[in-house]
Amino acid sequence: MTQNPHPLGQSIIDRAEALARFSDMEGGLTCAFLTPAHRSAQALLAQWMEEAGMQVRIDAIGNVIGRYAADAGADARVLMTGSHFDTVRNGGRYDGRLGILLPIAVVGALNASGIRLPYHLEIVGFAEEEGLRFKTSFLASSVLAGRFDAALLARTDADGVTLAEALAASGLPGHGELAALQAAAVDPATLLGFVEVHIEQGPVLLNKDLPLGVVTQIAGSSRFQVRIEGQASHAGTTPMGMRRDAAAGTAEMILLVESRCSAVPALVGTVGQLLVPDGSSNVIPAACTFSMDIRAGEDDIREAAIADIVAGIQQIAARRGLSAQVDRIKPVFNAPCARWLMDQFSAVLRKRGLAAFELPSGAGHDAMMMQRITDVAMLFVRCGNGGISHNPLETITAEDAQLAAEVFVDFLRHFQPEG
């Protein structure tokens, strides 16, 4: 019988497939915060962590945290790793999940060989990063980082259920009480740092023919919900010049986002949700709502674009006799990775004869929130299929997963605290 040449890599891929069977939809992977599929994914991750030799706890927001305890007498501080297990609608199997499954596989291998680390390693399966259910992202990491915004408890999902109600019904410890969410924060003084493994979600490594990369910084992002209001009237009788069409105005606003963000490299803007509430084919739209996501590697560039776009939206609305309400969801600022941690990943890559290629992240990650309380670094794994992500086509190879796992083992075994 031939041995699998990529045992760790293959096990990661098999587990990503097993986890993807829990979905809120038929025929694809959607795993929104605190749905039955999400709770099943959470339970399976906890089981895998225990089987790998970790002590597992679930916190007040639903994070699954496994600890691979250090030898007695070793550094009592914690190196944290992890990523999220919620997904976007009809998303990929590796976004977030790779950063949980890979460290679990690595700990399982270390444990099987009787190797302990000279510090506590904790793997966090973050319960919410994507913002799908409550239209606000980083819920889980904001709790762990002690940055939870109490106002979010009143936020509703599409069915009108508040975050507080969803947490109270969940059976999670603390039942959604603010005090419990606050108490779930980690003490930054206990942390050695936070490192996150993530699929790249873009084509850079693929085009460079490189399996792995070291992230330099994570681009800041701002999300908005916009509501445009005009006037409903008859589609057959209202002359074109007399209309206050909320959807036509919105179309112009979307093109403004596109043209303003196209003007600057590394600035990106997206309208990913667009709705004509209660629209009819023979009625001029009275209202239109849309989401807006604007990102850049530099906060100043992003803020300048936002100021122009918001002013432009108001001008378009005024010219067309519409009203515009632009609600900003808390921005997440640009997060630089720590050079001392990046260097330790690069040293492992070079030792294995691999390029220590550095690249910025355009996508958001749990590491951004963790960077508020500790130093962070990220290891990117090549994304197949042209680099497509937030899409069921998102993929990695067993070979790359194996290599990433081996690099991560080396990183953990040679890890030196700062200073």
Q: Which stretch binds Mn ion (CB under 5 A): 1-9, 50-58, 95-103, 393-401?
A: 95-103
What is the nearest approach in angstroms of Mn ion to the Cβ of residue 381?
Answer: 12
Closer to Mn ion at the Cβ: 94 or 408? 94
Rounded to 5 degrees, what are φ and ψ at 139?
Answer: -55, -45
Which of 96, 176, 220, 297 binds Mn ion (CB under 5 A)? It is: 96
Which of 8, 268, 364, 370 binds ligand GLV (CB under 6 A)? It is: 364
Which of 86, 95, 394, 400 binds Mn ion (CB under 5 A)? It is: 95
Rounded to 5 degrees, what are φ and ψ at 196?
Answer: -130, 130
Q: Is 200 near ligand GLV (CB under 6 A)?
A: no
Residue 267's identity, in one-letter code, is: L
List Cα–Cα distances, 224 to 2, 166, 291, 381, in angstroms: 53, 23, 6, 30
Distance CA 56, CA 108 (A): 14
Which of 24, 59, 128, 130 binds ligand GLV (CB under 6 A)? It is: 130
Q: Which stretch binds Mn ion (CB under 5 A): 37-45, 50-58, 91-99, 214-222?
A: 91-99
Does the CA dihedral 336-341-346-349 come out positive or negative? Answer: negative
Q: Is 193 near ligand GLV (CB under 6 A)?
A: no
**Residue 364 near which of ligand GLV, Mn ion, none (CB within 5-8 Å, type-dependent):** ligand GLV
What is the nearest approach in angstroms of ligand GLV to the Cβ of residue 313?
Answer: 22
What is the nearest approach in angstroms of ligand GLV to the Cβ of residue 386?
Answer: 18
Distance CA 227, CA 171 (A): 35
Which of 65, 363, 373, 404 binds ligand GLV (CB under 6 A)? It is: 363
Closer to Mn ion at the Cβ: 96 or 269? 96
Residue 145: Cβ-neighbour burial (10 angstroms; 0-12, 13-18, 19+): buried
Q: Is 292 near ligand GLV (CB under 6 A)?
A: no
Q: Is 196 near Mn ion (CB under 5 A)?
A: no
Annotate each residue in 85-104 with x if it binds ligand GLV (CB under 6 A) or - if it does not, as one string. --------------------
Distance CA 198, CA 365 (A): 8
Two structure tokens written together for 256: 């403004």
Catalogue the long-range contacts made by 146-155 (C-beta closer than 8 Å, 24 or more residues apart): 146/182, 146/185, 146/186, 146/373, 147/369, 147/372, 148/61, 148/181, 148/182, 148/185, 149/330, 150/178, 153/178
Residues of the shown chain interacting with ligand GLV in the complex, contacts defined by CB under 6 A: 130, 363-364
Residues of the shown chain interacting with Mn ion in the complex, contacts defined by CB under 5 A: 95-96
